[in-house]
Amino acid sequence: MEKERIKLTQFAKSAGCAAKLSPQILAEVVGKLPKFQNENLLVGVETSDDAAVYQISEELAMIQTLDFFPPMVDEPYTFGKIAAANALSDIYAMGGEPKLALNIVAYPHCLGADVLGEILAGGADQVKEAGAVLAGGHSINDEEPKYGMAVTGFVHPEKIWKNQGARAGDVLILTKPLGSGLVNTAVKAELASEYARKKVIESMTTLNKKARDVFQEFPIHCCTDVTGFSLAGHGLEIARASEVTLEILADRLPILPEALDYASMGLVPEGTYRNKRYQKPEILLESGIEEAMEDLIFDPQTSGGLLVSVEEKYADAILEALKNKEMETPFAVIGRVLTKQEAYIKIRKAGVEK
């Protein structure tokens, strides 16, 4: 098969993080597994955090994560960059520094060595940009190509960011635009504009390193990255673990170009419907929220941004610092943290006080 004619997405049933299993199935299965207790295990599965953290010494803890998925773009090199950025993001979401990465590869022989080489080159370049080292991996033959990484990072035990700890009065800051699932679906259907395709790739290939660097200068209460379970799903993880309610303002959300248009056209990934079925009962949507915006809020993100909860008094300084970092992606304050109410998340149409 000629490399020039290969479109990786033709081999994929789902795209990127939209390929995740249903959060309901995962909750049921993981809840039945044995509970492991160890005094050095600082972060485990209890709150569905982004990575596990194991303390090595008084000043050093190891962060361990892995992530892989089928392609959401046709270009092998770009796919490799996106998959690596997505895996590295879990380390940044815990406040850590990536140090070591291992490749995870499922690959059909028919695509040939050149295409695989480009995928791995894209991943290697992202690891290099992150300042980590790539030291091997594991591969299997598979009809559907999949790629990702197991990544190890380091963090001080007292400086770990978890997806719990949000406090009433905090503001919520998101560092990448939403809508990658919607745009990727439109791209696969050959209905997306070149501009929309360019912007979604730019977002997905951007490391969360700059955002992590900025947030490290402030007393962040909690952090997660927004990926396959959507803004709503990862927000729910924060709200449940912190026993608070998140108020999200739809008019403040950074959104990828044309994502809402594609939602209105019905170009919605299957993962959106899985997310809705499991998450919507605990979310209150204000009247007037259009269906396209609802689809965006439940849209599975691939290599999404960091979502942090921090005292409101630091918001302006953080936004200014992000601006000075020349962030490649838009960022915004998207809401605030309230004391626990009936719903874990309230989605309001606009930020007008009632």
Q: How far apart are CA 164 and CA 223, in angstroms?
A: 8
Provide the pLDDT for residue 3.
Answer: 45
Percentage of the chain exceeding pLDDT 90: 80
- pLDDT at residue 123 in the model: 98
137 belongs to an annotated ligand binding site: yes
Does residue 210 have a pLDDT over 90? yes
Q: Does 138 carry a binding-site annotation?
A: yes
Mean pLDDT within 50-61: 94
Question: pLDDT at residue 207 above 70?
Answer: yes
Q: Return the pLDDT at 350.
A: 78
Question: CB of 304 within 8 A of CB of 180?
Answer: yes
Residues 104, 106, 107, 109, CA torsion sign:
positive
Indicate if the pLDDT at residue 309 is higher than 90: yes
**Best CATH choice for the domain 3-155 from the list 1.10.10.10, 3.40.50.2000, 3.30.1330.10, 3.40.1390.10:** 3.30.1330.10
pTM of this prediction? 0.91
Tell me if 67 is assigned to a ligand binding site. Answer: yes
CATH topology of domain 170-348: Phosphoribosyl-aminoimidazole Synthetase; Chain A, domain 2 (3.90.650)
CA distances from 180 to 48, 103, 302 (A): 22, 24, 6
- Whether 316 has a binding-site annotation, put simply, is no
Confidence check: pLDDT of 187 > 70: yes
Check residue 249 and give its pLDDT.
Answer: 97
**If you average pLDDT over residues 34-54, what whole number do you get?**
84
Distance CA 10, CA 6 (A): 8
Residue 31 annotated in ligand binding:
no
Strands (E), 156-299: 170-174, 222-225, 244-249, 283-285
Burial status of residue 251 (CB atoms within 10 A of its CB: 0-12, 13-18, 19 or more): exposed
Pair 148, 86: CB distance under 8 Å: yes
Beta-carbon neighbour count of residue 331 at 10 Å?
21
17 catalytic per annotation: yes
Q: What separation in angstroms does the CA of 267 have from each of 10, 32, 125, 261? A: 17, 35, 32, 9
* Mean pLDDT value of segment 36-52: 83
pLDDT at residue 353 is higher than 60:
no
Q: Which residue ranges make up each domain of the chain?
A: 3-155, 170-348
Say which residues have a Cβ less than 8 Å from residue 32's Cβ, sequence separation at least 6. none
Q: Binding site annotation covers 20?
A: yes
For the chain, what percent of residues have pLDDT higher than 70? 92
Backbone conformation region of residue 177, classed left if phi is above 0, alpha if psi is from -120 to 50, else beta: beta
Q: Which two tokens stand for residue 120?
A: 């791995």
The first and second tokens of residue 77, run together, are: 């090199």
Task: Identify the band that residue 19 occupies on the pLDDT scale cut at 50, 70 and 90.
Answer: low
Identify the CA nearest to 179 among candidates 162, 209, 199.
199
Q: Is the pLDDT of residue 1 over 70?
A: no
Q: Is 48 annotated as a binding residue?
A: yes
For the segment 83-103, the average pLDDT, to the nearest whole number, is 97
Catalytic member of 17, 110, 222, 223? 17
CB 54 within 8 A of CB 160: no
3-class SS shares of the chain: helix, strand, coil, % to 5: 40, 25, 35
The annotation status of 221 as a binding-site residue, yes or no, is: no
Is residue 225 marked as binding?
Answer: yes
- Please tell me what DSSP assigns to residue 36: P
Give CA–CA dist 150/135, Å, rounded.
11
Going by pLDDT thresholds of 50, 70 and 90, the confidence category of residue 51 is: confident
